């Protein structure tokens, strides 16, 4: 479908690609990976026709359409979200008009043997085929499905674009591209600005997508779930693997180890040969032998080890100072911006040693709640810190708080106190700032470098409570993994907001799901939470189907006037008796469900205050909670079975 041949791109003296070739097939799912600055985004722009190569070709099969994100956002600020999304079907509307015109022209044509008639028939066939591929039916349904999948509510669809932030506008652009159904999708960090539920929806959409996909992402789980091919860009070359990201890592590491061993063996051979040369070159009888060895060495092609992953950040958080059992307590917390109400009546208690993932849909107030905890936002209710709590805070825009005119060294040295001042350069070195890098102004650093510097500041003093809002923004895959490993070893309490499932998995042991009226507590890992949420959604959907079926059955079984006339008095009594019996049983089960669900809600409050350092008590309580959930599921099953009778 797309063939890249001998592609070369350079910016001044810097060469991004040197004679690389690549073929993209109709159903390929390619993840572009490589260090920041390797040329991943440039490759996408080249495929999108926005970057011209210095040498080489990019050839597309005839009629291939391309959708690219990000692209210049050209939209009407006054248009509603729905109206803006509908512009994605501009081609459908134009093709429909063309099909009507050609059909009318062919119908009125009298000379069926003319070239003009054959030309119109061919154009009609092509237009109809393209229209079929695009799917011209149910446009409204498609728009609503995609926009809701990307996190928009029904009431959002009629709101003007100007009321939304840049992140939400980017979602509309992504939605438009998906609705256009191009043959090749080019996606640069498509999960940015998406919450976990929207990311999972996008994954499912892309897995079923009919065209080819080339994407860049720092979300390992997203790459694994969507791609089946990984293309690494490194030192102006590309390495193509028919694996998803995790399998590629294993294969690539194995290759590097073999290269290192081969290079080591070769170097030993060179060293041994050089010793022989040095030994015999001065002896006349061995001079010719020495010369032959020299010629052998000259012909050797030096084995180079590929640059893979590069140097990694080395992070270790200082031991946390002792704190009281309760780290932070909130009662009846609420927040509204004018008429916009985020949440109210939230209660929370964060206990020492807990590792909490704060999740929820975008716009529900996760970052707002964190700013409330940090006393950087006014709010309703009470927030009380525990005894001797020291908080280390990493904001979503932490990099923006750096002084752009300071050097890297000054940024850390100006805030370092005590013994750590003696090791500022060593600390910066662990974050990959060494040599002349420490004298660079902050304003010339990349997004990833600024993020690393902001984290470096977090290590200047020990904290017993880390509050992290989207800490992986701007970090590459390797740096994210190192940060995760450091946080796993951190011995204090932690509250983290992240949409990166791989980063959260194995890092936290409690999930707080923020809702408009409460914080719902989910004990366990984020992957357990996602499984339960999915099962909950499916169960809710199935219950709705059962309700509908039961209502239809009740309506169907209602005796009409003619059937009543045919029933004997005894039959009527028996039917009414059975119906009443079923209704009584249903009411009893519904009452039990209400009671059990109230107990579940009460237990969730208990779980939020649980001391997880007391293993025996916490396991007993968690088991009781799971048993109660199972009882509720059993009651629902009985209720559904009875409703089908």
- H-helix or E-strand containing 137? none
Total Cβ atoms within 10 A of residue 346: 25
If one compares 28 and 449, the residue with the highest pLDDT of the two is 28
pLDDT reported for residue 28: 93
Q: What whole-number distance in Å separates Cα of residue 390 and Cα of residue 322?
A: 10
pLDDT reported for residue 452: 83
pLDDT reported for residue 511: 93
How would residue 542 be classed by pLDDT, with cut points 50, 70 and 90?
low
For residue 373, how many C-alpha atoms fall within 13 Å in the half-sphere facing its CB?
31
pLDDT reported for residue 553: 63
pLDDT reported for residue 398: 78
Q: What whole-number distance in Å separates Cα of residue 605 and Cα of residue 55?
A: 64
pLDDT reported for residue 354: 94
pLDDT reported for residue 224: 94
Q: Is the pLDDT of residue 509 over 70?
A: yes
Percent above pLDDT 70 for the chain: 86
Tens-digit pLDDT profile for residues 156-179: 888 888 888 777 888 888 888 888
By CB atoms closer than 10 A (0-12, 13-18, 19+), residue 61 is exposed
Mention every residue, 6+ apart, whose C-beta is less than 8 A from residue 493.
Answer: 320, 323, 327, 350, 351, 352, 353, 354, 355, 464, 465, 466
Instruction: Return the C-alpha torsion angle 575, 579, 585, 591, nearest 10.
Output: -160
Q: What whole-number distance in Å separates Cα of residue 350 and Cα of residue 400?
A: 28
Q: What whole-number distance in Å separates Cα of residue 103 and Cα of residue 138?
A: 22
Q: What whole-number distance in Å separates Cα of residue 562 and Cα of residue 99?
A: 54
Q: How far is CA 358 from the centre of its chain?
A: 15
CATH of segment(s) 326-524: 3.40.50.300
Q: Is the pLDDT of residue 559 over 60?
A: no
3, 59 contact by CB (below 8 A): yes
Over range 88-106, report the average pLDDT.
78
Over range 46-73, report the average pLDDT.
85
Which of 339, 331, 395, 361 is closest to 516 using CA atoms?
361
Does the predicted TM-score (pTM) go above 0.75? Answer: no
pLDDT reported for residue 114: 75
Domain boundaries, the chain: 79-163, 248-299, 326-524, 532-643
Q: Is the pLDDT of residue 611 over 70?
A: no
DSSP per-residue letters across 460-518: SS--SEEEEESTTTT--HHHHHHHHHHHHH--SEEEEE-S-HHHHTTT-SEEEEE-SS-
Q: Is the pLDDT of residue 309 over 60?
A: no
Tens-digit pLDDT profile for residues 202-234: 998 899 888 999 999 988 999 999 999 999 998
Rounded to whole angstroms, the maximal C-alpha distance in the chain is: 130
Q: Is the pLDDT of residue 248 over 80?
A: yes
- Output the 3-class SS for 55-111: EEEEEECCCCCEEEECCCCCCCCCCEHHHHHHHHHHHHHHHHHHHHHHHHHHHCCCC
Q: What whole-number distance in Å separates Cα of residue 499 and Cα of residue 123?
A: 47
Total Cβ atoms within 10 A of residue 494: 26
If one compares 545 and 567, the residue with the highest pLDDT of the two is 545
Mention every residue, 6+ apart, whose C-beta is less than 8 A from residue 211.
Answer: 26, 27, 181, 182, 183, 184, 185
How would residue 350 be classed by pLDDT, with cut points 50, 70 and 90?
very high
Strands 493-497 and 340-351: unpaired
- Output the 3-class SS for 617-628: HHHHHHHHHHHH
pLDDT reported for residue 173: 87
- Considering the chain, what is the average pLDDT of its residues? 82
148, 175 contact by CB (below 8 A): no
């Amino acid at each position: 479908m797309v063939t890249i041949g001998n592609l070369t791109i350079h910016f001044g003296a810097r060469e991004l690609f040197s004679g690389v070739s690549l073929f993209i097939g109709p159903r390929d799912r390619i993840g572009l990976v490589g260090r920041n600055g390797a040329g991943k985004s440039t490759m996408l722009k080249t495929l999108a026709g926005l970057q011209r190569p210095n040498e080489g070709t990019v050839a597309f099969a005839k009629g291939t359409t391309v959708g690219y994100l990000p692209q210049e956002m050209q939209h009407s600020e006054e248009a509603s979200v729905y109206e803006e999304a509908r512009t994605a079907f501009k081609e459908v509307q134009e093709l429909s008009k063309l099909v009507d015109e050609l059909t009318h022209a062919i119908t009125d044509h009298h000379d069926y043997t003319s070239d003009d008639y054959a030309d119109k028939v061919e154009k009609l066939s092509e237009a109809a085929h393209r229209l079929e591929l695009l799917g011209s039916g149910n446009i409204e349904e498609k728009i609503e499905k995609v926009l809701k999948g990307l996190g928009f509510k029904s009431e959002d669809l009629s709101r003007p674009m100007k009321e939304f932030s840049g992140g939400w506008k980017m979602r509309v652009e992504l939605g438009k591209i998906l609705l256009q159904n191009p043959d090749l999708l080019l996606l640069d960090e498509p999960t940015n600005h998406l919450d976990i539920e929207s990311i999972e929806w996008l994954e499912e959409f892309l897995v079923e997508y009919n065209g080819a996909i080339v994407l860049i992402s720092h979300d390992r789980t997203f790459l694994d779930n969507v791609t089946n091919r990984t293309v690494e860009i490194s030192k102006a070359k590309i390495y193509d693997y028919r694996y998803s990201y995790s399998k590629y890592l294993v294969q690539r590491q194995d290759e590097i180890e073999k290269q290192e061993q081969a290079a080591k063996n070769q170097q030993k051979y060179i060293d041994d040969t050089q010793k022989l040369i040095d030994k015999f070159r001065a002896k006349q009888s061995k001079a010719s032998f020495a010369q032959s060895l020299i010629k052998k060495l000259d012909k050797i092609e030096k084995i180079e080890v590929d640059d893979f992953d590069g140097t990694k950040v080395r992070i270790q958080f200082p031991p946390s100072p002792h704190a009281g059992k309760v780290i932070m307590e909130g009662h009846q917390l609420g927040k509204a911006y004018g008429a916009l109400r985020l949440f109210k009546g939230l209660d929370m208690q964060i206990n020492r040693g807990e590792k909490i993932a704060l999740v929820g849909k975008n716009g529900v107030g996760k970052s707002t709640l964190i700013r409330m905890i940090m006393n950087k936002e006014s709010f309703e209710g009470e927030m009380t810190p525990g005894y001797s709590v020291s908080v280390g805070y990493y904001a979503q825009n932490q990099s923006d708080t750096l002084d752009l005119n300071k050097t890297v060294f000054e940024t850390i040295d100006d805030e370092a106190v005590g013994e750590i001042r003696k090791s500022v350069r060593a600390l910066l070195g662990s974050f990959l700032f060494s040599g002349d890098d420490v004298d660079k102004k902050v304003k010339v650093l990349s997004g990833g470098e600024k993020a690393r510097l902001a984290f470096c500041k977090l290590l200047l003093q020990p904290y017993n409570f880390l509050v992290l809002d989207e800490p992986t923004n701007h970090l590459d895959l390797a740096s994210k993994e190192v940060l995760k490993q450091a946080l796993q070893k951190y011995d204090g309490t932690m509250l983290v907001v992240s949409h990166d499932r791989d980063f959260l998995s194995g890092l936290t042991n409690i999930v707080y799901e923020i809702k408009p009226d409460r914080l719902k507590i989910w004990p366990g890992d984020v992957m357990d939470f996602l499984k339960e949420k999915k099962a909950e959604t499916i169960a809710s959907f199935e219950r709705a189907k059962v309700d509908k079926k039961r209502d239809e059955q009740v309506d169907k079984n209602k005796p009409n006037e003619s059937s009543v006339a045919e029933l004997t008095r005894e039959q009527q009594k028996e039917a009414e008796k059975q119906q009443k019996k079923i209704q009584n049983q249903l009411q009893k089960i519904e009452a039990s469900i209400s009671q059990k669900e109230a107990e579940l809600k009460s237990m969730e409050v208990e779980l939020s205050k649980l001391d997880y350092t007391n293993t025996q008590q916490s396991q007993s309580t968690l088991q009781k909670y799971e048993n109660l959930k199972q009882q509720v599921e059993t009651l629902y099953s009985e209720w559904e079975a009875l409703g089908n009778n």
